[in-house]
Amino acid sequence: MTENTMENKESLQRQELHRKIWAIADDVRGAVDGWDFKQYILGILFYRFISENITEFFNKAEHEAGDLEFDYAKISDEEAEEDFRPDTVEDKGFFILPSQLFENVVKKARDNENLNTDLANIFKDIEGSAIGFQSEDDIKGLFEDVDTTSNKLGGTVAEKNKRLCDILTGIDKINFGDFKNNDIDAFGDAYEYLISNYASNAGKSGGEFFTPQTVSKLLARLVMEGKKNINKVYDPTCGSGSLLLQMKKQFDEHIIDEGFFGQEINMTNFNLARMNMFLHNVNYNNFSIKRGDTLINPLHKDEKPFDAIVSNPPYSIKWIGDKDPTLINDERFAPAGKLAPKSYADYAFIMHSLFYLSSKGRAAIVCFPGIFYRKGAEKTIRQYLIDNNFIDCVIQLPENLFFGTSIATCILVMAKNKTENKVLFIDASKEFKKETNNNILEEKNINTIVEEFKNREEKEYFSRYVDRDEIVENDYNLSVSTYVEKEDTREKIDIKVLNKEIDETVKKIDELRASINEIVRELSHE
């Protein structure tokens, strides 16, 4: 499949997804707040797909055993309890009875007077099926944000049921085919789309800029360039899990030996990340998503270092910093001798990632441009990183790539096994395709950046491979514009041609002035 064909396919899938979501929105508009609407859509999307996932799981096993007519959705709950529940939770992490499957619930939704409470009980049962099993922490609270009894859906049971029925039937109409083979991260894409269109209240999403799929793909390619396999991948601020999932999509299963690890502070995003893992057939025993403050309470301390780290931390958010005097002695931050400023936590995330990076690993982190030239503590930390040869590459990205901000971000690539004391600077600010609302990275743009990262061939106006000494001379400034000259796109002027044009203009002015003087003389003699 060609790049253009793949991109067209992705675009069509995305358009179909957005069109269907918008149709559901039209049905519930005015009854459900935009932010809450997002929760219901994503929660019930998840419900549909785990229903299809477990049905496929049982059907495949029975068909392979010779019963080609078997359909788990059509058997009784009693038969399912006896023949299918045992050992299922160990394999899948959860269990759903046939009567509780999405396809069976949606068939009866319009006539079900108890729809809202039935759904609440189904969600409770799905979460409850994992209690006492290894998957309990991975399943617990997944449907917490989907309150089917909330008055936000309507003041009466009938109104609640109507809204829920509209959402169920709308989601039922979305044709994803085989979901795990979708070319887009459909769940993550739905999340981005819903947030960009419905999260109008900045207080609910302030500071959160969700990573576009193409940027995620670039980060995945950068950390894996030249590597045949890695132990595991880690995202310390994993959001809805899109960066981790790009690693799965970009590389074969055997390349990532020990799975996917992440931490997220926001409860909604934490739930979404776990849902997203399940939706992309990452089994519960192959991922570890934890909830908590990464900077204050890192929850993967017992893990050995990671060969790949990808991250898009929140830009320049506040953190406790030196208000907590114990943090300067934290083994993650102590080596730099300074903590990131309380107003800008960027370098706290960077130092955290460096600490968790293996000796042969690579980290690719989306950064706010200001961290590369600001003075004070940030300069001190930059100096530590450069003097110890941890910074591999700084890439200037185009502006307007992210939902919610037009800022031209950068990518910082770190490694602990560099053979040269140099830093590669890439100005990729012109590597994009303009779309209606946002710029996007096309496959050819990503390939151009990755090829330069691989080959390190200096190209005028695009890249330079800079010795540490020059960086020190520039006071540890790491801005790409300091090292890569901007192309002058102004129209070039031929001074000889210009002078000739001026001479001709002056001659014409003189002739005109002489003509005017002659007219004045004639008039004065009349």
pLDDT bracket for residue 205 (50, 70, 90): very low
Residue 67 has which token pair? 């019963």
Residue 66 shares a structural domain with residue 150: yes
Cβ contacts of 261 within 8 Å, gap of 6 or more: 232, 233, 234, 235, 244, 287, 288, 289, 300, 303, 306
d(CA 257, CA 260): 9
pLDDT at position 285: 92
Tell me if residue 438 falls in helix, strand or coil: coil
Q: The dihedral of CA 472, 476, 480, 486: what is its sign?
A: negative
- 236 and 141 within one domain: no
The answer to whether residues 123 and 258 belong to one domain is no
Residue 106 has pLDDT above 70, yes or no: yes
What is the pLDDT, as a whole number, of residue 276?
A: 83
The DSSP bridge pattern shows strands 391-396 and 422-427 to be parallel
Contact 390, 355 (CB under 8 A): no
**Out of 306-310, 439-443, 458-462, 492-496, least confident range:** 492-496
Query: What CATH number has the domain bearing residue 155?
Result: 1.20.1260.30
Residue 95 lies in a domain: yes
- Within this chain, do residues 149 and 269 fall inside the same structural domain, yes or no? no
Position 184 confidence tier, pLDDT thresholds 50, 70, 90:
low
For the stretch 397-412, pLDDT in tens is 999 887 667 788 999 9
Where is the domain boundary, 446, 468, 483?
Answer: 483
For residue 442, what pLDDT is reported? 93
Beta carbons of 242 and 207 less than 8 angstroms apart: no
Are residues 148 and 74 part of one domain? yes
Q: Does some domain include residue 385?
A: yes
- The answer to whether residues 156 and 278 belong to one domain is no
Residues 157 and 235 in one domain: no
pLDDT of residue 29: 63
| Number of helical H runs and strand E runs in the chain | 19, 11
Domain count of the fold of the chain? 2
- Terminal Cα-to-Cα distance of the chain (whole angstroms): 88
Predicted pLDDT of residue 204: 43
Task: Confirm if 377 and 184 have CB atoms less than 8 A apart.
Answer: no
CA distance 37 to 39: 5
As a whole number of angstroms, the distance between CA 116 and CA 121 comes to 9
DSSP letter, residue 309: E
Q: Is residue 266 included in any domain, yes or no?
A: yes
Nearest to 223 by CA among 254, 188, 255: 255
Phi then psi for residue 366, to 5 deg, are -75, 130
Contacts of 451 (CB under 8 A, 6+ apart): none
Strands across the sheet with 260-264, in order? 287-291, 260-264, 233-235, 306-311, 357-367, 410-415, 391-396, 422-427, 463-467
Tell me, what's the pLDDT at 322? Answer: 94
- The one-letter amino acid code at 212 reads P
Residues 54 and 158 in one domain: yes
- Shared domain check, 222 and 133: no
Q: Where are the beta strands (DSSP E) in 252-351?
A: 260-264, 287-291, 306-311
Domain range spanning residue 285?
213-483
What is the token pair recorded at 107? Answer: 């068939």
Please count the other Cβ atoms lying within 10 Å of the Cβ belonging to residue 387.
13
Per-residue confidence (pLDDT) for residue 288, from 0 to 100: 96
Mean pLDDT computed over 358-373? 96
- Contact between 445 and 428 under an 8 Å Cβ cutoff? The reply is yes
Could you give the count of Cα atoms lying within 13 Å of 153 in the half-sphere of its Cβ?
24
Is 523 inside a domain boundary? no
Domain-embedded: residue 53:
yes
Element (H, E) at 470: helix 468-473
Q: Which residue has the tokens 């759904």?
A: 119
Using the 8-state DSSP alphabet, how is residue 251 labeled?
A: S
Strands 287-291 and 391-396: unpaired
Q: Are residues 289 and 353 in the same domain?
A: yes
Amino acid identity of residue 314, one-letter, is P
List the beta bridge partners of residue 433: 440
**Rounded average pLDDT over 221-234:** 95
Same domain for 47 and 87? yes
CATH code of residue 250: 3.40.50.150
Report DSSP state, residue 463: E
Residue 520 lies in a domain: no
Q: Does 172 lie in the same domain as 262?
A: no
CA distance 58 to 75: 11
Whether 449 is in a domain gets the answer: yes
* Residue 504 forms part of a structural domain: no
- What mean pLDDT is predicted for residues 174-184? 63
Strand spans (E) along 265-300: 287-291
Do 152 and 32 form a contact (C-beta atoms < 8 A)? Answer: yes
Task: Please tell me the total number of residues recorded for the chain in this structure.
Answer: 526
Indicate if the pLDDT at residue 187 is higher than 90: no
pLDDT of residue 337: 96
Which is more confidently placed, 347 or 268? 347
Region 485-503 average pLDDT: 77
3-state secondary structure of 429: coil
| Greater model confidence, 142 or 512 | 142
pLDDT per position as a tens digit, 20-48: 777 787 777 666 666 677 788 888 988 99
Question: What's the CA gap between 2 and 13, in Å, rounded?
Answer: 17
pLDDT value, residue 512: 83
Rounded Cα–Cα distance for residues 104 and 91 (Å)? 23
